[in-house]
Amino acid sequence: MTDVTDATRDAGADATIRQCLSLDQPRSFFLFAGAGSGKTRSLKYALEGLDTATLTTLRKHSRKIAVITYTNAAAEEITRRVKADPVFQVQTIHSFAWSLIEGRTEDIRGWLESHLQTEIAKEQAAHEKGRAGTDAYAKRLKKMASMTKRLERLGEIRAFTYAPEGNNFGRDALQHGEVIALAAHFLTESETFQNIVLARYPFILIDESQDTMKTLMEALLSFEVRHRGRVALGLLGDTMQRIYTDGLRDLDQRVGDFAQPAKQMNHRSRARIVDFANAIRRDDDGRQQRAREDKPGGTVRVFLAPSVGTDRAAFEAFTRAEMARITEDPAWQDAEAVKTLTIERHMAAARLGFSELFEPLSKPDKLKDGFRDGTLPAMRLFTHRVLPLVTAQRTGDAFATMAVLRDGSPLVDKKGIRAGRAGQATGLEAARAGVAALMTLFEDDRDPSCAEVLAVVAEHRLFPIPEQLLPCLPDDSPVAPDIADIRAELGPLLDELDLTAPEATPPPEATITEAWTQAVEAPFSQVARYLAYVEDRSPYGTHQGVKGLEFSRVMVIADDAHTRFKGLASYETLFGVKPLSAASLKKASIGEETTIERTRRLLYVTCTRAEESLALVLYSEAPGTIRTFLVSNGWMAEDEVVMAAADGSLQEAALQR
């Protein structure tokens, strides 16, 4: 009998998955894979384990294996691991949903017509019960007007468009939620559509399945039941690591007929961190992990301070210094070497110093997703055009300067370079003049606003100006006629919506313009800080952005007092400082997720990013109550909790560790 080792302990789970991926007898499965268990490795083994006969059969019949990942980065990694073999269709969930419905213009039109009519009827019913003159009353009027106009124009659309990673504007564009709803609808209601999917995909594998939108996941589960034995739906994930509320909360309870392999190992973290993670989830689903034998030790500390009166920057610096002393790891003293995780992005933005840029653009629905993940097209003018140009100029790198210009400036394309007739400057000369004018803004260590930078870029036509930014330009800008055209086009819409009425709510276009107008007043230096954050090159992150990642040193900041979205989580409720709210009690009574459950999940996700050492910084109105909770429930030993003085000062903190 072969001895079981850390490397082989979970081999049975991988073997089960390979057995499920059979063209003759496909079987659906749900793989439980906790933090650091090697879930992506299991997916890779499953794909690599397909025999030559299976792959040959798939290619012969033009069939593919759908591999749905959580992020574009994950999709790129899986694609690389399978050597870009076209038999594997690796996509994010939105891209996959769009691939199912793209080109079905009449079907989409019919669904939208029915959907809009239903939504208008709902708004009308609420409107009739509403009170005139209120903000809600005005919003419903505008929403109905917008939906009615869209409904009337559906017949004019020749083909619907959609950008999975971008923002979707224009009358022919579908929104992210609509694409998911459409795919779910056809999967459950159209037998023809179901047969097309069956013919195309014998296996549909979904990574991070706990965060797949509830609507689409329920449709896929229904589809699997209806066609069991003809398709294998492979789900990989961990319900404790569900980040978003639109995931299927009871997914693990909906797959009773699936094969259910489970992974026991945590290959990422040292033993003390694994023990702490096990304590966090012990009162939830009870699942526990094993640490590797070659990863003993590790450090976990909790630092408690009053939420009022504490200098947070000083306390967090004190935390890093104490962790350096306790772990004998001097890298803890370097903020850049510690991954600091917050529950909300705005907390990270404040600590990194790009709040003036972040706050306006993170609010409008049509901007916030693209801005938060770095794909907002208008923002890329600053991050991927101007910033690299300024950086190249500051370092004296002429080759990098020309590369940036060639990549995006119309002045140095073939047409621009040849434009040296009739006494006009050539494109190259104009580009040099534009770059020189731009760099004068930064002389004497000046930090110009993004608006100033935008004006110079437009004046010298260094790069094309995105449409959303045109209203932010001065009236005497060379592209002012374009602005006038836009305002003329929006005029009838603004008049129709009667924005002069009391308590009127601006239409989406006005809200977007207002957001950009405010954002471009931010200092240009904030662009670099923002880019470092979205590209995960900063020491700060959020629970949404770091799932699946790992770091040697992690500091988690829990600060209910500075949380803007009060319903998102409450660490003080989890740790017994505050009782469950009436709303949470009501949710619990009908089987819905409570604040405690949601907070526990977020704490688990952030704390399990740590490999070597973990510091949890908690600000509370009752630090002593939290300390009692942690010690009495066996989460922490008494000497693992460090408390600041009652007034938030640090003088006594070292004495109370």
Structure tokens at 559: 């600060």
Binding positions for ATP: 33-40
Q: Rounded to an integer, what distance in angstroms lies between the CA atom of residue 159 and that of residue 619? A: 53
Q: CA distances (Å), 611 to each of 84, 255, 277, 553, 648, in order?
A: 31, 32, 12, 7, 30
Helix (H) or strand (E) holding 234: strand 232-237
Q: What is the dihedral of CA 546, 552, 558, 564, to 10 degrees?
A: -30
Q: Rounded to an integer, what distance in angstroms lies between the CA atom of residue 225 and that of residue 529? A: 48
What radius of gyration do the chain's Cα atoms show? Answer: 28
Binding positions: 33-40
Can you spell out the DSSP letters for 479-496?
Answer: THHHHHHHHHHHHHHHHH
Structure tokens at 563: 């949380």
Which of helix, strand or coil describes residue 230? coil
Can you spell out the DSSP letters for 304-343?
Answer: EEESSS--HHHHHHHHHHHHHHHHT-GGGG-GGGSEEEES
Task: Work out whether the CA dihedral 480, 484, 486, 487 comes out positive or negative.
Answer: positive
Contacts of 3 (CB under 8 A, 6+ apart): none
Structure tokens at 456: 């110079």
Contacts of 114 (CB under 8 A, 6+ apart): none
C-alpha count within 13 angstroms, C-beta hemisphere, residue 24: 3
Can you spell out the DSSP letters for 237-305?
Answer: E-GGG--STTB-TTGGGS-TTSB--EE-EE-SS-HHHHHHHHHHHHTTT----EE-TT----EEEEEEE
Helix (H) or strand (E) holding 266: strand 265-266
| Residue 94 one-letter amino acid | H
Q: Rounded to an integer, what distance in angstroms lies between the CA atom of residue 145 and that of residue 153? A: 12
Can you spell out the DSSP letters for 408-452?
Answer: H-GGGSHHHHT---TTPPPHHHHHHHHHHHHHHTTGGG---BHHH
Contacts of 239 (CB under 8 A, 6+ apart): 210, 249, 251, 252, 285
Structure tokens at 99: 């691939």
Q: Which residues of 509-539 are buried (b: 16+ CB within 10 A; e: fewer)?
A: bbbbbebbebbbebbbbbbbbbbebbeeebb
Q: Rounded to an integer, what distance in angstroms lies between the CA atom of residue 141 and that of residue 147? A: 10
Residue position matching structure tokens 């662009």: 527
Nearest to 556 by CA among 362, 348, 373: 348
Q: Rounded to an integer, what distance in angstroms lies between the CA atom of residue 298 and that of residue 338? A: 15
What residues pair up with 593 in beta bridges, in sequence order?
Answer: none
Q: Rounded to an integer, what distance in angstroms lies between the CA atom of residue 314 and that of residue 392? A: 35
Would you mind telling me the total number of residues written for the chain in this entry? 657
Nearest to 43 by CA among 177, 203, 173: 203
Q: Rounded to an integer, what distance in angstroms lies between the CA atom of residue 208 and that of residue 202? A: 20
